[in-house]
A and B are shown apart, each in its own frame.
Chain A
């Protein structure tokens, strides 16, 4: 029963590099047709996890099933049914977009593939189809690498930080591609350290830190679980505790001179803050009032900001 609805089942996954526990007991489940995001800072263990699930790395402990097949024993069978986009993909630099896609079609002799022309249209590379891959911009390369992950019309698409290093426009373009895949009912496992990406694309998100999953759920659910509050952030040198006792404040954190207080009663907290300001003569620099986001959830759970 679970095997039918689960696209991916991961249990008790561990991967140590010497003393570094890259992945330290990760378990999760991705349902068919779901877009599942792993969110966390660099080095949290997201990429290691996704690569073990893809079959590119061996785990030290734990079990992985993909489409009901066991990793790594049935890796070869799994590979023909999944599509992989790697964090850094460089390809034959002197082959054109079309040539590379055509070549990849040959790697799936026993599977119905998506025609090169269609793939190129899907990732919006029509104008660049005869361009050699080394002459593509970073964003275009990433889109080609997503197209390569789709050649075999995969049952599951793995995207490892697909938009890292892209400019905002290129990022939105790729989000459109991902949303398109989502509409087609593809299962997607995505890693990212962009909050917005997780919020916009993912059905469910696992927040990963230090090799552990510290929270898992739909983005809005996670926010509600942790915050009924409004977040007020501003620049101040004081420690978070200074603000803990202010009226309405349930929780306060500080990071790099940026203090965020979470309040159940924003008007009273603001009044208290403004009173403090006039008493100390300290200006409330960079004041920002917003509802809590995944970013706030992450900050609350780890005490660190997710942004680099």
Chain B
């Protein structure tokens, strides 16, 4: 065991003394979280400029207008007519527009379903429009329960919308955490490993009686250390600077960090098995990195992706890691049950490890 420990210490020294590696693995995620945190948590709680067009003369329109104007704290409501509101939306002075159409009250009173119109600019940030839409839907759901006079199975007070609003940064933090674990696995594992091989270090170590599994364990231990350091920094900064609250247990979160790190480190080893040069290793890593970054729901919800991409989305391990971390950290509605997330990540890890074990070349 002391050999593995010595290798680990040697790897750690090698890493700590490499400023570029430190930057990409530790400073870069911090820059990322600070940047996103600065942009998406400004003012502490979110605030949206909402245009409200009430074309209804009856009590339903008035009631809803009152709720949007006074009960939903993140909404700064401006009432105007339809044309002005849409013009302002196009100019960008409004984030979205709610239209309560003519005859809304009559329709509701005659027990038919009435439609409240929601207008947003799709060229704008999709995450925020998703959040806004969710808030509007929640308001309508509460109203429906009251209007239909049924006893709601769960009493959702209107002000609960205010306190538990998920800000963009709350949504993004788990994604950034998952992304940094993925990038550690891809760029932080494959490239250094191929470079060790290219430079002949693996070959030299292979000329000693050192068993290969010890070499491997020493390497993986270093990556896990970096993963945990990265995660601690990202979570710590999010909590301290941007008041992100972790809803679930920290232990569960730490467990997910380790599971995610192992899955992507395994993927890094697989890439190192396929790539002969550092250039091809980083090429393959980038080719995997980009689709995962954009198709795994780390920057915007999966629901916003076109349906034809669904099979791709469902194949990517990052989708499940991000979903699992979000479930624990913001208590979001899961895209998949937790066991599915864990099973898919485990499956990817096993496949990558088996293939890497089969194809990895030491020199």
Contact = CB atoms under 8 A, between A and B. Distances in A.
Contacts of B10: 92, 95, 99, 103
A20 interface: no
A107 B208 contact: yes
A148 B203 CA distance: 13
Interface size class of A (residues with CB under 8 A): 20 to 34
B13 interface: yes
Given A76-B209, A80-B209, A56 B203 contact: yes
- Which of A79, A88, A107 has most chain B Cβ within 10 Å? A107
Given A56-B206, A84-B207, A86-B207, A109 B18 contact: no
B200 A86 contact: yes
Nearest to A102: B6
A80 B207 CA distance: 9
B204 interface: yes
A287 interface: no
Contacts of A102: 6
B14 to A, nearest CB: 5
A90 B199 contact: yes
Contacts of A56: 203, 206-207, 363
Contact of A79 (B199, B201, B209): B209
A236 B102 CA distance: 109
B219 to A, nearest CB: 12
A108 interface: yes
B7 interface: yes
Nearest to A78: B209
Contact of B6 (A76, A79, A103): A103
Contact of B204 (A79, A89, A93): A89
A30 to B, nearest CB: 18
Contacts of B201: 90-92
B14 A95 contact: yes
Interface size class of B (residues with CB under 8 A): 20 to 34
A106 interface: yes
A119 B2 CA distance: 22
Contacts of A84: 207-208
A107 B3 contact: yes
B200 A79 contact: no
Nearest to A96: B13
Interface string A59-81: 00000000000000000100110
Contacts of A90: 199-201, 204
Contacts of B204: 86, 89-91, 148
Contacts of B7: 103, 106
A89 B10 CA distance: 17
- Which of B200, B204, B205 has most chain A Cβ within 10 Å? B204
Interface of A: 54, 56, 76, 79-80, 84, 86, 88-95, 99, 102-104, 106-109, 132, 148
Given A56-B203, A88-B200, A106-B7, 4 more contacts: A54-B207, A79-B208, A86-B204, A106-B2
